[in-house]
Structure 1
Amino acid sequence: MVTRVTNFRIAKPVSVFETTIRVLGGLLSAHMYATELLGPRHQDQLLSLAIDLADRLVPAFNTATGIPFNTISLSSGVPQHETPVTCLACLGSLTLEFGTVSRLMGNPLYHHLAKRAVVAAWKLRTTIGLMGCHINAQSGQWTEHAASISGTSDSYYEYVCKAAVMFDDPEYAYLCQVTYETVENQLRYKDWYASASIWNGIIYRSSFESLQAFWPGLQVLLGDLKPAIRSVRQYIQLLDRFAFLPEAVNMDRLTALVGREGYPLRPELVESLMALFQATQDRRLLNVATEQIRRLLAYCWTSCGFANVKDVRHLILEDQMDSFFLAETLKYLYLLFTPGHPLHHD
C-alpha cells in the first residue's frame, strides 16, 4: 500500500535533514526488514521509493562547500531564494541513510555527498577545534559562533561515530575521535556540557538541554564509560527533582529555564540508559527506566495516545505527540528490557 500511494513530487520545501532521517531512513529500514522476513517474495518496491527520494534530495548538495542547503522542493529542487545557512546537525546527520543507499545500490555517490559535507564542516573548525551551531553553506563562514552538543549540533557528533562503526570507515573513525576529544576538552563543565565560543572556548551558557542526553550513549559506543556514568547520574538527579527531563536546566541551580519547562517525550535519555545497561548490566538503570514508564503511563497517557508534557513542574500536558516517541522512545524502552534482541547486534 505504501508504494501505491506514495508520491514524492511535492511542490513545497521540506527539510533535507528531517526528510532524510525520518522518511528516507524509514523506507530503508522497512526495506531491509521486509527483505529479511519475506526473502525472494519482496520485490524491492520500498527500496525504489528510497532511491527516488534520495535522488530528489541530491541537488541540495550543490553548494560551493558541498554542505547541503537546509530545505529543498522534492519536485523542483532548491528554492530560488533559499537561505544558505544550515545547522551543524542538519549537514552532518545524513551519513547513515545516504551511506546505506550507496551500499544497497552499489553506487558511491550518495555516501560521497554526505561524507563530503561532514568533512567540509570539520575542515572549517576554528584553531581550537570547535565548530559552530550554524554555517553558511556557500561561503563556509560560521554564522553562529557557539559550540555545543545540544540541538542544532548534537547529531553531527553522533552520526560521525556511528558511521565509523557502520561503514568500518577509518576517516570517520578519526573524525569521531578528534571531535569527541575536542568536546571533552572544551565543552565539559563539571559533569555537564556547556555552550562555548568557537574562537576562545569561553563559556557562553551553563545550561543543560535534554537533547544532550544522547552523549552518554555515544560515550558507551566509544568505550568511555566513567564519564557516561557520571552524566547519567546527573540526569537521574534531575529525575528526582522533576518527573521528566525538562528541555533546558540551569546546571548550577538545577532549575528549569523559563520557556523550556516542557518534555516532548524525547528518546535521548532512554537510548543512553539502554546503551549503558548493555555495557554495565547495572540493574539500577532498569529501575530508572521502569519509573519512567510508570510516569509516562500515569501522567502522559490520554484517551488518544500519549501527550507531550508542557511543564514538567506541574505536569501540564499539551495536545501533541511527536513521531520520535513511537520511532525511538518506545523502541529503546523495549530494547532496554529485551537485552537479547538481535537489534542489539546489528
Structure 2
Amino acid sequence: MGALSRLTGDPIYESVALRALRKLWSMRSSLNLVGTTLDVTTGQWIGYSSGIGAGVDSFYEYLFKAHILFGKEDFWRMFQSAYLAVQKYFRHGPWYHEADMRTGKATYWQLTSLQAFWPGLQVLVGDIAAANSSHREFFHVWQKFGVLPERYLLDHQIIHPTEKYYPLRPEFAESTFYLYQATKDPWYIEVGESIVNSLNSYTKVEGGFASIRDVNTMQLEDHQHSFFLAETCKYLYLLFDDSFLVDRNIIFTTEGHPLPVLSSWHEKLPEAYIPANWTFPKSENQRRRRESAMTLQVCPATTLSPNHGDQQIESACHIPDVRGDHRCLSDEDCGVDSTNCRKRSCSTASYCGLWLVT
C-alpha cells in the first residue's frame, strides 16, 4: 500500500495501511508478542497462541521490509522489539515453537511450512548464523519426506495427522535463495537442486505441477496455487540465475513481486496522515538507539549508548538456556551467552556454561 501511494501520488492507500498497523501494534502483549487471528467484529484476539507461522508471518516480514523501502524509524523500532521477543520466547535452538502471547510459555511444539520464510528474513536483518541454523533443520525435514509437510510435530517427531499436505509452498526455496545471495556457499545450490528434483519427481503432471495431498503416500490433488509460479519457481530460478538482480536494488514483497528501493520513497510522509498517536515517542532524544545486536553484534545484553545518555541497547544474540536451572543433557539445551554472544555448551556435570578448552 505504501508503494501504491508512492506510485500514484495518492496518500490514502498508505494511510489506511498505517492505521491498521498502528492498531495491531497497540494490541501486542506486554511481552511485545501479537496473536495470529482476530475477530473482525469485536476486534479481539481469537486465542492467544503466537508464533512466526500462519496468520502472523507477513506481519514480521513487512515491518522490516517497510523500513527498507521507506526508511521510517518507526518501522525499525517495531521490528526490533518484535524480533527480540521472538528470539526470547519462541526460539529453541534452531527451532521456533509457539507460545502464549501473554505469558511467553510454550504452547505448541511444531514446525509449519510457512515458518520457512524466517531464515530469509533473518538474512535481510544480517543474522546469518541463526538463519543458516534454522534453514538446515528445515532441509533435514525436507530430506526426510521428500518435500516439506504443512505441519510437523517437533515433540513427537511425526507429521500432523490432518495437515500432512504440501501445496507447493515457496518459503523454503525463498530462504535458500536469500542465504545463497548472502554467503555464496555452493551448498545452497545443492539444496536448490534437491528442491527442483523433488518437484519434478513428485509433483510434475501434464500441464503443470500438482499439490501433494499426503506426503506419506505422495498422493496428488488437482490443484496448483498461483504462488507456485509467482514465488516458488521465481526464487528457484533466481537461485540459479541471478542476472536479474545485477545493478538493481530491490525488495521482494511477501508474494514475490520486486519493488525498487528508491531514495525518493524515503521522504517524510505528509503530516496530514502521519498517525496522530503513534506508539513510539517522536522526540529523537527519547528514542532507543537504532543499532542492536542484529546489525552490530552488540554485547553484552544491555550496554550504555554513548549518544543517548542513559538509553540502553538490547542484544538480540542472547538466547536463554532451555531450563531455568541451567541443567542440560546436551549442547542443544544451552543458549547463547548475553555477555559475549558465545554459544554455551553442556558440561560433564550437566550444566550449561562457557567452558575453557585447553
Q: Same fold (TM over 0.5)?
A: yes
State whether structure 2 residue 252 is matched by structure 1 residue 345: no
Letter in 1 for 2:170: P
Q: Which moved more, 1:319-328 or 1:129-138?
A: 129-138
Q: Give the alignment of 1:113-192 within 5 angstroms.
A: 113-137=16-40, 139-192=42-95
Q: Post-superposition shift, 1:250?
A: 1.2
| CA–CA separation in structure 2 for the residues paired with 1:195 and 1:270 | 23
Q: Which has the larger radius of gyration?
A: 2
Q: Post-superposition shift, 1:340?
A: 3.1
Match of 2:183 among 280, 295, 299: 280
State whether structure 2 residue 161 is matched by structure 1 residue 258: yes
1:133-171, Cα deviation, whole Å (9 max, x unpaired): 122456543222111111111111111111111112211
For residues 214 and 203 of structure 1, do their structure 2 counterparts lie closer, same or farther at Cα, with a shift above 3 Å needed?
A: same
1:282-335, Cα deviation, whole Å (9 max, x unpaired): 111110111111111121111121000111122111111111001110011111
* Secondary structure, counterpart of 2:46 in structure 1: strand
The answer to whether the 8 Å contact 1:195/1:206 transfers is yes
Q: Which residue of 1 aligns with 2:228?
A: 325
The answer to whether the 8 Å contact 1:124/1:140 transfers is no
- Give the share of equivalent positions with the same residue, in percent: 38
* Secondary structure, counterpart of 2:152 in structure 1: strand
Q: Provide TM-score, normalisation by structure 1.
A: 0.69
The answer to whether the 8 Å contact 1:186/1:201 transfers is yes
- Which structure's residues are more often helix, by fraction? 1
Match of 1:268 among 159, 171, 176: 171
| CA–CA separation in structure 2 for the residues paired with 1:152 and 1:270 | 20
Q: Which residue of 2 aligns with 1:202?
A: 105
Match of 1:289 among 192, 210, 234: 192
| CA–CA separation in structure 1 for the residues paired with 2:83 and 2:214 | 33
Q: Which moved more, 1:319-328 or 1:141-150?
A: 141-150
The answer to whether the 8 Å contact 1:299/1:315 transfers is yes
Q: Post-superposition shift, 1:207?
A: 0.6
Q: Which residue of 2 aligns with 1:309?
A: 212
* Secondary structure, counterpart of 1:309 in structure 2: strand
| CA–CA separation in structure 2 for the residues paired with 1:339 and 1:222 | 21
| CA–CA separation in structure 2 for the residues paired with 1:256 and 1:135 | 27
Q: Which residue of 2 aligns with 1:16?
A: none
The answer to whether the 8 Å contact 1:264/1:309 transfers is yes
Q: Which residue of 2 aligns with 1:220?
A: 123
Q: Give the alignment of 1:48-87 within 5 angstroms.
A: none
| CA–CA separation in structure 2 for the residues paired with 1:307 and 1:136 | 33
RMSD of Structure 2 on Structure 1 (CA): 1.5
Q: Which moved more, 1:271-280 or 1:115-124?
A: 115-124
Q: Which residue of 2 aligns with 1:4?
A: none
Letter in 1 for 2:109: S
| CA–CA separation in structure 1 for the residues paired with 2:79 and 2:118 | 13
* Secondary structure, counterpart of 2:157 in structure 1: coil
Letter in 2 for 1:106: G
| CA–CA separation in structure 2 for the residues paired with 1:238 and 1:345 | 33
| CA–CA separation in structure 2 for the residues paired with 1:134 and 1:279 | 33
Letter in 2 for 1:258: P
State whether structure 2 residue 10 is matched by structure 1 residue 107: yes
Q: Which moved more, 1:269-278 or 1:295-304?
A: 295-304
| CA–CA separation in structure 1 for the residues paired with 2:51 and 2:37 | 11
Letter in 2 for 1:310: R
Letter in 1 for 2:120: G
Q: Which residue of 1 aligns with 2:313?
A: none
* Secondary structure, counterpart of 1:200 in structure 2: coil
Letter in 2 for 1:316: Q
State whether structure 2 residue 217 is matched by structure 1 residue 299: no
Q: Post-superposition shift, 1:173?
A: 1.4
| CA–CA separation in structure 2 for the residues paired with 1:305 and 1:340 | 26
Unaligned runs of 5+ in 1: 1-97
Q: Which residue of 2 aligns with 1:63?
A: none
Letter in 2 for 1:345: N
Q: Which residue of 2 aligns with 1:50?
A: none
